[in-house]
Structure 1
Amino acid sequence: MRFSTLALFASSALAMPSTPAVPRADKACMTRDEATEIVAIYKRLIANYQPADCEKYCSDDFVDRSDSINTFIFKPLGEPTFATKQIFMEAQLSNPPFPVEIDSVDAVDCEAVALRWHATFGAANKPSRGITIIGTTKAKGWWQIKSLDVEFNSLIWLLNMGGTYQWEG
């Protein structure tokens, strides 16, 4: 009986028409062109960091999250990687630029952009593929990056940095 009740709920959920997206009247929504500009800013922040870009285009309440990066800097998984704009800026100043190539912008929402990228560099020179979700805000009259959620193939990244790994089984 449980199975048939569950099946009934599941099938009725699938049969329900989806609700059309409602434009947000309370906030401005990013256009596709504005999203393209935000992606270009993101690429500069990673591949060609200049503090002036971060000062202008990262919001005051900026946060960066990446369990992939946390594994390299010995931070617990699930914690913010760079909890503030200032911490992010200091980290970017001490890191070499990474040759990030944007493969595609897969989604643009009112205040978010989802993209796929790869970076090929270093000792192994293999492409490490990643995804980034950019959260934005228009608090100062222009679009700023409020959050970055980034994950990538950290084993390939490790090889590119000259590291090694061994499967134990």
Structure 2
Amino acid sequence: MRFSALAIAALATSATAFPTLGSIFSRQAEKACMTEAEAKEIVDIYVRLISNYQPEDCEKYCASDFVDRSDSINTFIFRPLGEPTFATKEIFMEAQLSNPPFPVVVDVVDAVACEAIALRWHATFGAANLPSRGITIIGTTKREGHWQIRSLDLEFNSLIWLLNMGGSYVWEG
């Protein structure tokens, strides 16, 4: 089998362009990772932000570059799917001040990574009083001496949520 000098050079260049698993894991090891207790505190803060909003919680525990993304919510507020729902901490804070509290119950925390938490939850309220189930991925960062929420990515059963808010829908199939 013969390789040309050009092929060998291309292979060597491409090997240095892609990180190895070892380099990825060593970079993760350099990051600060949440403890189980810190992850529980972040989940508790998330629940307070949704179900018992106090601006002080958001001011302290949401990072300055905070973003919230949810196509489920975007359908209710007529935002294009795929765009951030609340692109900044300030927009999120303003929206939470005008939203009624929702009784979010965390069913299970599925995973905790160095800077992320995955959880499943439900909220039962309103006119239909049905449980709308959802999932949330909380992205975090350690700043100002404590963990802060940098991003929320969430989706939930928006049809049940609509019924709970007193709305209705007609299935055309």
TM-score by length of 2: 0.84
Of 76, 99, 102, the residue aligned with 1:98 is 102
Point out where structure 1 has 5 or more consecutive residues left out of the alignment.
1-18
- Counterpart secondary structure, 1:102: strand
In the alignment, is residue 30 of structure 1 matched against residue 34 of structure 2? yes
- Aligned residues: percent identity? 79
In the alignment, is residue 51 of structure 1 matched against residue 55 of structure 2? yes
In the alignment, is residue 78 of structure 1 matched against residue 69 of structure 2? no
Superposition pairs for residues 54-73 of structure 1, below 5 Å?
54-73=58-77
Alpha-carbon distance between aligned partners in 1 of 2:96 and 2:30, rounded to the nearest angstrom: 34
Q: Where does residue 165 of structure 1 map in the other structure?
A: 169
- Counterpart secondary structure, 2:25: coil
- Counterpart secondary structure, 2:134: strand
Shift of 1:64: 0.1
Superposition pairs for residues 70-149 of structure 1, below 5 Å?
70-149=74-153
Q: Where does residue 10 of structure 2 map in the other structure?
A: none
Structure with the greater alpha carbon radius of gyration:
2
Runs of 4+ in 1 over 4 A off after TM superposition: none
Shift of 1:141: 1.4
TM-score by length of 1: 0.86
Task: State the superposition RMSD in angstroms.
Answer: 1.3
Shift of 1:27: 1.6
Which letter does structure 1 place at the counterpart of 2:140? T
Number of residues paired by the alignment? 151
Point out where structure 2 has 5 or more consecutive residues left out of the alignment.
1-20
